[in-house]
Structure 1
Amino acid sequence: MDCIAGVSRKPWSLPFTAEPEEAAALRRIVRFHLGQWGLHDIIDAAQLCVTELVSNVINHVGTGTPTTLAVSMSGLRLRIEVHDPDTRALPTLVDAALEAESGRGMALVGAVADRWGVQLQEDRKVTWCELATGLPSDSGHSGGARVHRVETLLSVYGCEAARLRLAGFGALSVVEDAAIDLIADVLHWMRAHGRDVDEALERAESQFEVEAAEPENLPL
């Protein structure tokens, strides 16, 4: 996989004890990982799903249950799984307008996720959901044409050599260094052609802020 054009989204899992105070820590961990994966647009939905899946274990299996959160890519979808040892207490989906408490959390999951379900194994139950990412490929970036054009430029900035030197570790910082080199070179080019570098940076930042606020208006 090209170290610039591709993003490594390796599956990860985290054992924890099902306690109400664990939910906030898990949300922070999910936010961090999805930020590293470039999936900023679905962070809020993923955090909601994690909260409800964990709450389901607390409410229907019991506080203190040994549980595991697992996050991975399933094609172009983000897959979130919560594993618990009780194969009897199955989550159900009910009408969110009803007064019944049971199942309301899964109604929220069903509202934001593309799909969800339950898998029963010999020693555990896996409650899962999947969120659409909008990615062009499972190793690609979101961000539109501008991001793809920059990836093409970054591919000539020595990232492959650096990636090999680091043996695959710290790839994100390597790409960031390559991007900074690219920006610096553009500034050198502008100064060599008699342009005001500070003015160029201000104009670029202003244009970025406008386009970031209205992503649908990004030029192709």
Structure 2
Amino acid sequence: MTRKPWEIPFLAEPEEVAALRRIMRLHLNLWGLPEVIDAAQLCVSELVANVITHVGPHTPTTLGLTMRDTRVRIEVSDPDTRALPTLLAAGTDAESGRGMALLDAVADRWGVILRSDSKVTWCELATGLGSPNGHTGGLRVDRAEGLIALYGEREVSRSAAGSCLTVAVAEEAAIDVIADLLHWLRAHGCDPDEALDRAQLHLEAEVEEAEWAIGQ
């Protein structure tokens, strides 16, 4: 999976935060990284709120998302090089000053890059990937990836994008894989609907087990 960097300009306003969170969720789902969505949305909220509070509303700002090795990197840039984010030890009753502390608790690391006419506040989140273009999900996902790649080989060869499957092409290839397996089951006297139901039960049980393990 190719995860290309992207960025979006916006004006720092409270009403923009919800849309930016939705955009972040959309891109991370497309990147196959749903596990980091909640943390990434919190980071976006706090980084944008920091601009609104310390630089000012209506500030021209840019939100960016990239992969740095196996980490997701979120960047928020603004034109003020003086108002630097500061990690404060805010009390539990404080009404402000806790934003960067929340980000510090969620992110693996964060920092600020000063440029001649702007600054970039960034943070990085661990993904659990083995490589920048890899997948989460374990052995089952790895096996499926190899099979989908075989089915999608002809479509990829026609694409100018290179040797990596796009999500759209991979999805169509996955549907072809499932359809062929259902034909195979039917040809051998098996019930395709029953097989789909059993596969869904396996998926739900394994996802539930994985979520329980993460929560421990």
Q: What is the TM-score normalised by the length of structure 1?
A: 0.90
Question: What is the one-letter code of the residue matched to 1:190?
Answer: L
The answer as to 2:156 corresponding to 1:163 is yes
Matched, 1:151 2:145: yes
Q: Distance in 1 between matches of 2:198 and 2:208?
A: 16
Does 2:36 align with 1:42? yes
**Whole-angstrom distance in 1 between the partners of 2:186 and 2:155:** 28
Match of 1:17 among 7, 11, 17: 11
Tell me how far apart the structure 2 counterparts of residues 177 and 211 of structure 1 sit (CA, whole Å). Answer: 24
Shift of 1:36: 0.3
Conservation of the 8 A alpha-carbon contact between 2:75 and 2:121: yes
Gaps of 5+ in 1: 1-6
- Show the counterpart of 2:186: 191
Aligned residues: 211
Task: Extract unaligned runs of 5+ from structure 2.
Answer: none
CA distance in structure 2 between the partners assigned to 1:87 and 1:217 by the alignment: 44
Letter of the 2:201 counterpart: S
Contact 1:92 1:102 (8 Å CA) reproduced = no
The offset of 1:168, in angstroms, is 2.8
Shift of 1:100: 5.1
In the alignment, is residue 58 of structure 1 matched against residue 52 of structure 2? yes
Cα distance per residue 1:49-80 (max 9 Å; x no partner): 00000000000000011000111011111000
Cα distance in 2 for partners of 1:114, 1:121 equals 23
Q: Which amino acid aligns with 1:114?
A: D
Equivalent pair of 1:79/1:128 in contact (CA under 8 Å): yes
Q: Which has the higher contact order (CA 8 A, sep 6+)?
A: 1
Give structure 1 regions of 4+ aligned residues with deviation exceeding 3 angstroms. Answer: 98-103
Q: 2:200 matched to 1:213?
A: no
Deviates more, 1:48-57 or 1:93-102: 93-102
Give the C-alpha shift of residue 197 in structure 1.
Answer: 1.3
User: Which residue does the alignment assign to 2:196?
Assistant: 201
Pick one of 172, 177, 181 that aligns with 1:182. Answer: 177
